[in-house]
Amino acid sequence: MSSDLSTSVSLRNRLVLILIGGAAILALLLFFAIRNYATQVAQQGQDNIISASVTSILDAAAIRDGIVEVDFPYASFSMLSTAFDDQIFYAIYQDDIFLSGYERLAIARVAARETDFKTVDYLGSQVRVVTASRTLIGKDKRTQVRVALAQTQDALSGTLTQISRNAAVFGASFFALATLLSFWATSNTIGQLNRLTNSVTRRGPQDLSPFHKPVPSEMLPLVTSLNSLMSRLDHSLKQSEDFIAEAAHRVRTPLATVRSYAEATLQRVDKEENRQAMRSMVRAIDESSRAAGQLLDHAMITFRADHLELQDVDLSALVHDLVERLKPIAEMKDLTLRLHSDTQVPYKGDAILLQNAVRNLLDNALKYSPSEGVIDIQVTAKPNIEIRVYDSGKGFPKDELDTLATRFKRGLNAEGTIGSGLGLTIAMDVAVAHKGMLRLSNKAEGGACASLLL
């Protein structure tokens, strides 16, 4: 069934994809956010230390005897020591005159009390330069001392690599966790659907009762419409069965009336061609009546098969009753009915259906075997529970053996006998309803053999 339906993307895959995709995006965002933040913090840290060093150098600047001296403390550079042994470069300017340090270090013009931060290239490596200035007031003039201090960024990038690594681990584990969670959430959600599917599949083919088990609120509409669909289906099925039964019943009664009139008329008509016509009429009526009867039975069987009522039945007794009831008809045709039965064959099944099936088999045997024949009926419990009817007639037409049990199918040998082609269908439906089967065969010495294997 499912193969006929075209499927769009699986709900599970879609859910998993959305959740995992979301987690991946979040993890990446997280990673970059952490890294970005860490970069800022680390850069801030380096800036602070360099600024402190610059301040300590500027603090040491003084004018002595009209000459600018910058007797900065050992700690100025000492505080710049890093685990990665970063290089430091500096330059001290008085106004625009180079005083000391690295002459080629670019120095920003900064106003007093201003600090300039820059990342530049110096001697082939990236350095962070902090420039600040201080105004010194001498006896007769003011002078500005500017200090630029640069440090390479090995420690910074080392820290960043480490933080990046940690952030990556953090992001990855977040992603892994989210993925696990999304798989769990998805399978949990889909599980609800699967449970419903299972309970639909597990149902018998004719079980159209509504679902009562609790379902998640999101699935309530689906289950409700499923229930209503099934109740409508159930309703219309019952209606059509009722309709067939009703129709058959309604046809049968007037047919019986018509037949009795025709029969009466036949007695009174003398002319041979009229009698012939009347006989055909009676025959047609019989045919119709039989068909109506079989249709009614068939409808009944279809209905009961849906709601099989299993009860303890003794098959031996059941068949015995039937044989007894049919004996008068058999005697009329000079046929002998022989019942071979174990004393008791207990079985759990629907007695009415089983009766109907066996009656149809017996009916066929009576109908299709020639007079003075013998019909054997066997009821066995071992090795299988089996009811077998075989006669001494010509047997089933060989070519049609496989199709005789289909609806309205009559054999070539059935010409001239009244029948509707539903007898074997009924027998088979009953067998199938009891999880058994109907087997048709011909005996070697001739004669049809129909057996109900239950």
Partner 1 sequence: MRIIVTLVIWMLPQLVLAQAWEDRRVFENESAEQTLRIISSTDTALFAPIIEDFLSKNTGVSVEYLVNGTAKIDQIFRADPDKFDLLISSAMDLQLKTANDGLALRLSDVAHPSWAQWRQSLFAFTSEPAAIVVNKAAFADHQLPRSRQELIEVLRARPDVFRGRVGTYDVRQSGLGYLFATQDARASETFWRLMEVMGALDIRLYCCSGDMIDDLSDGTIAVAYNVLGSYASVRVENEDQIEVILPSDFPTTMMRTALVSNDAPHPKAATEFVQHLIRLQSDHPKGVFLLPSLKTQDSDVDRATIPLEPALMTFLDNLKRRRFIEEWENAVIQK
Ligand X SMILES: Nc1ncnc2c1ncn2[C@@H]1O[C@H](COP(=O)(O)OP(=O)(O)OP(=O)(O)O)[C@@H](O)[C@H]1O
Residues 6+ apart with CB under 8 A from 406: 425
Q: How far apart are CA 83 and CA 154, in angstroms?
A: 9
- Identify the bridge partners of residue 68 per DSSP, sorted by sequence position: 63
Choosing among ligand X, partner 1, Mg ion, none, which partner's interface includes residue 448 (Cβ < 5 to 8 Å by kind)?
A: ligand X
Q: Which residue stretch of 59-67, 158-166, 193-201, 409-417 sits at the interface with ligand X (rule: CB under 6 A)? A: 409-417
Contact pick of 318, 423, 428, 434 for ligand X (by CB under 6 A): 423
Judge contact between 387 and 358, C-beta under 8 A: yes
Radius of gyration of the chain (CA): 52
> CA-CA distance, 453 to 436, in Å (whole number)?
5
Candidates 44-52, 213-221, 262-270, 417-425: pick the segment binding ligand X (CB under 6 A).
417-425
Q: How far is CA 166 from CA 22, 163, 320, in A?
A: 21, 5, 89
Contact of residue 420 among ligand X, partner 1, Mg ion, none (CB under 5-8 Å per partner type) = ligand X
Q: With binding defined as CB under 6 A, does residue 295 bind ligand X?
A: no
Determine phi and psi for 220, rounding to 5 degrees.
-60, -45
93 binds, among Mg ion, ligand X, partner 1, none (CB under 5 to 8 A by kind): none
Report the residue number whose CB is nearest to ligand X. 411
Interface positions with partner 1 (CB under 8 A): 69-78, 80-81, 83, 85-89, 92, 99-101, 123-125
Query: Considering all CA atoms of the chain, what is the largest pairwise distance in Å, rounded to the nearest integer?
Result: 167
Alpha-carbon distance of 158 to 165, in angstroms, equals 11
What is the smallest separation between the CB atom of 275 and ligand X, expressed in angstroms? Answer: 25
Binding mask 322-361 for ligand X (x = CB under 6 A): --------------------------------------x-
When CB distances are held under 5 to 8 angstroms depending on the partner's kind, the choice from ligand X, Mg ion, partner 1, none that residue 69 binds is partner 1
447 binds Mg ion (CB under 5 A): no
- Please give the Cα distance from 269 to 280 (Å, whole number): 14
What is the DSSP annotation of 66-91? TEEEE---THHHHTT--TT---EEEE
Whether a cis peptide bond, with omega within 30° of 0, leads into 383 is yes
CB nearer ligand X, residue 150 or residue 438: 438
The entry of partner 1, Mg ion, ligand X, none near residue 373 (CB within 5 to 8 angstroms by kind) is: none
**d(Cα 337, Cα 319) in Å, to the nearest integer?**
12
Q: Which is nearer to ligand X, 132 or 430 (CB)?
A: 430
Residue pair 447/395 in contact by the 8 Å Cβ criterion: yes
Of 282, 404, 430, 438, the residue at the interface with ligand X (CB under 6 A) is 404
Q: Which of residues 254-293 bind ligand X (CB under 6 A)?
A: 290
Amino acid type, 111: A
With CB under 6 A as the contact rule, the residue among 421, 439, 441, 453 that binds ligand X is 421
Helix axes 351-368, 272-306, angle to 10 degrees: 150
Number of residues engaging ligand X in binding (CB under 6 A) = 25
Shortest approach of partner 1 to residue 47 CB, angstroms?
Answer: 17
Q: Is 364 in the site for Mg ion (CB under 5 A)?
A: yes
Residue 75 contact partner, candidates partner 1, Mg ion, ligand X, none, CB within 5 to 8 A by sort of partner = partner 1
Nearer to partner 1, 151 or 289 (CB): 151
- Give yes or no for residue 422 binding ligand X (CB under 6 A): yes
In contact, 229 and 238? CB cutoff 8 Å: no
- Is 365 a residue that touches ligand X (CB under 6 A)? yes
Compute the least distance from the CB of residue 193 to ligand X, in Å.
45
Least distance CB 374 / ligand X (angstroms)? 13
Within positions 394 to 423, which residues make up the interface with Mg ion, using CB under 5 A? 423
- Least separation in angstroms between CB 144 and partner 1: 16
Judged by CB under 6 A, the residue of 101, 171, 349, 393 near ligand X is: 393
380 binds ligand X (CB under 6 A): no
Give me the torsion for CA of 389, 393, 398, 400, rounded to 10°. Answer: -70
Question: What are the b/e assignments for 188-226, b being 16+ CB within 10 Å?
Answer: ebbeebeebeeeeeeeeeeebeeeeeebeeeeeeebeee
Pick between residue 68 and residue 448 the one whose CB is nearest to Mg ion: 448
CA quadruple 327, 333, 334, 338: dihedral, nearest 10 = -40
Count of CB atoms situated within 10 Å of the CB of 6? 5
Which residues contribute to the site for Mg ion (CB under 5 A)?
Answer: 364, 423
Which residues contribute to the site for ligand X (CB under 6 A)?
Answer: 290, 294, 360, 363-365, 367-368, 391, 393, 395-396, 404, 410-411, 413-414, 419-425, 448
